[in-house]
Amino acid sequence: MCVKGLYVFTVLSGLAASGVLQVSGIRIYTSGEMEAVNGTDVRLKCTFQSSAPINPNSVVISWTFRPLTQGREESVFHYQQRAYPPLEGIFRKRVVWDGDIMGRDASIIIRQVKFTYNGTYICQVKNPPDVHGPVGEIRLRVVYSGQQIHFQPML
């Protein structure tokens, strides 16, 4: 039994030394909550850290939107070697890439925000082989000029 335990320990040690057991994950950073005045532009800041070297040819960034109401999730923006703004939907001709892959920045700008843009924006970054980790979320409130909003805790 002692020999079997030593064998398992040796195999696991070898795997760990080779990197097979190495756990990596990408980390996403956002502001969490934002407020923007109706009709203005807003920058949704999303930065990331990766345990793998950054390769601009393989990084993939996806932004999605989840409305406050029970509507369906909608694609906002996609980046893979270049920017792919949406061709249809409520964000058509409204989203601009404002990030810098090598600077670990996946930010976008939404032009002329509307009240229908109230909701949660989800930033997801993949930098192969570093593709696992939580997404970043920004809860956006679009308000009238001069209106103050008090955020409610997210459940």
HEC string of 70-137? CCCCEEEEEEECCEECCCCCCCCCCEEECCEHHHCECCEEECCCCHHHCEEEEEEEEECCECCCCCEE
List, as one string, the DSSP characters of 8-37: HHHHHHHHHHHTTT-----EEEE-SEEEEE
Using the predicted structure, report yes or no on whether residue 64 has a pLDDT greater than 70: yes
Distance CA 153, CA 132 (A): 27
Confidence of residue 5 (pLDDT cuts 50, 70, 90): very low
**Alpha-carbon separation of residue 9 from 14, 37, 132 (angstroms):** 9, 60, 27
Using the predicted structure, report yes or no on whether residue 6 has a pLDDT greater than 50: no
Q: For the chain, which residues make up each domain, given as ranges?
A: 24-143
More confident residue, 82 or 1: 82
Mean pLDDT of 66-79: 92
- Please name the amino acid found at residue 107: S
More confident residue, 151 or 60: 60
Q: How far is Cα of residue 2 from the mean position of the Cα atoms in its chain? A: 48
Mean pLDDT of 122-135: 94
Distance CA 56, CA 54 (A): 6
Using the predicted structure, report yes or no on whether residue 123 has a pLDDT greater than 50: yes
> Does the domain at residues 24-143 carry the CATH identifier 2.60.40.10?
yes
Using the predicted structure, report yes or no on whether residue 49 has a pLDDT greater than 70: yes
Question: Greatest CA separation found in the chain?
Answer: 74
Mean pLDDT, all residues of the chain = 85
pLDDT tens per residue, range 12-44: 344 334 334 444 689 999 999 999 999 999 999
Confidence of residue 71 (pLDDT cuts 50, 70, 90): confident
pTM of the predicted protein model = 0.79
Distance CA 127, CA 47 (A): 13
